[in-house]
Amino acid sequence: MNSSLTRRTLLTLAAAALCGATGLAGAQTPTTPLRVILPVGAGSGVDTIMRSAQVALSKALGGQPVVIENLPGAGGINGTQAVVKAAPDGNTVGVVSNNHAVNPSVFKKMPYDGITDLTPISVIGGSPFVLVVNPEKVPAKNAKELQAFLKAKPEGYNYGSSGNGTIIHLAGEMVMEAAGVEVRHIPYKGMGPMLADIIGGQVEMGVGAVPAVQGHLKAGTLRAIGVMGKQRVASLPDVPTIAEQGFPSVDVEGWFALVGPAKLPATQVKRLHDAIVVAFQDPEVKAAMAKQDNFIDPSTPEAALKFFKSEQERYAKLVKKANVQVE
């Protein structure tokens, strides 16, 4: 037997085994956290949703830590821009919502292209919106009573939004246009501050995602006037839609989607898409989504791209009709 050949063969086999073990360990124990950027404030509907799924998402990614970071401001542009600028390595993603499709129509200049500068991964699902009022400041209990209340003194009342030109702003404008009243708009930096001021009486009303307002409705610090979409909400069975109260043109609900930086490799897109599907099928996450009245139906990346384009076209018409502009 050739002793040098034997030693060479053993060394080769040992090296191969070591490389295989190292690669396997690296695949099983991801150490770089997945940074999930939310371009909305803490306490918003999307924030509540993603924090409910945070643990399950980490598990679906093989134990990779998931870090959620709130970067609100400018209708979601601040946070989304951070995703655009991130390296396309699969370790930074963002969760965008309706504002992502609204912004190109309300801002004269955008720092990025919402279609080409991002990689769509999945439209995960959606959340119903509801029109709420401060119960001490507004005696109205339904849409018709609110219309009469506002028409009596429209210049004396305000409605809040999560920011100028946001979907919450447009939803409020949709209600006021349908009711035939003009009420002063007060923009905030996020839904959390807006709801706090409605509860505090600084503004009288606003539109919020159901997950963000549920606790306040149960506590009686907010009153629901009507659901903004086409169907009633399971947790609010006695709250009719605005449309069924005589304002059929009011029809809007929230959605949320996972995106990555442009040129994200197909392998990373699949990894993240598959993890989202698994995470939102987790029994605890499904229970949390049902409790928050969210509907979950993750789309393919291809369907997400088509959806983004169609939503941009839809909101462009709404923005033009409402004459909403942001400098």
Hey, what domains does the chain have and what are their CATH numbers?
Answer: 32-127+254-322 (3.40.190.150), 129-245 (3.40.190.10)
How far apart CA 234 and CA 91 sit, in angstroms, is 36
State the residue for tokens 């291809």: 302
**Minimum mean pLDDT range among 5-9, 118-122, 301-305:** 5-9
pLDDT band at 163 (very low <50, low <70, confident <90, very high): confident
Percent of the chain scored above 70 by pLDDT? 90
How far apart CA 185 and CA 173 sit, in angstroms, is 9
Q: What is the chain's mean pLDDT, rounded?
A: 88
Residue 92 host element (H or E): strand 92-97
What pLDDT shows up at residue 21?
Answer: 38
Q: Residue 225 contacts by C-beta under 8 Å, 6 or more apart in sequence? A: 130, 131, 132, 133, 140, 141, 142, 143, 146, 205, 239, 242
SS3 state at 164: coil
Tell me the torsion sign for CA atoms 183, 186, 191, 193. negative
SS3 state at 69: strand
Report the candidate in 36, 258, 33, 262 with the shortest Cα–Cα distance to residue 125: 258
Report the candidate in 278, 279, 309, 252 with the shortest Cα–Cα distance to residue 127: 252
Q: Residue 145 contacts by C-beta under 8 Å, 6 or more apart in sequence? A: 139
pLDDT at 8 over 70: no
Percent of the chain scored above 90 by pLDDT? 68
pLDDT band at 12 (very low <50, low <70, confident <90, very high): very low
**Beta strand residue intervals within 129-183, DSSP E:** 129-133, 158-161
> Mind listing the pLDDT tens digit for each residue in 118-158?
999 999 999 899 999 999 999 999 999 999 999 998 678 99
Q: Residue 269 contacts by C-beta under 8 Å, 6 or more apart in sequence? A: 119, 121, 260, 301
> Mind listing the pLDDT tens digit for each residue in 29-86?
568 999 999 998 887 778 989 999 999 999 999 999 999 999 988 878 999 999 999 9
Strands 254-261, 92-97: parallel, antiparallel or unpaired by DSSP?
Answer: antiparallel
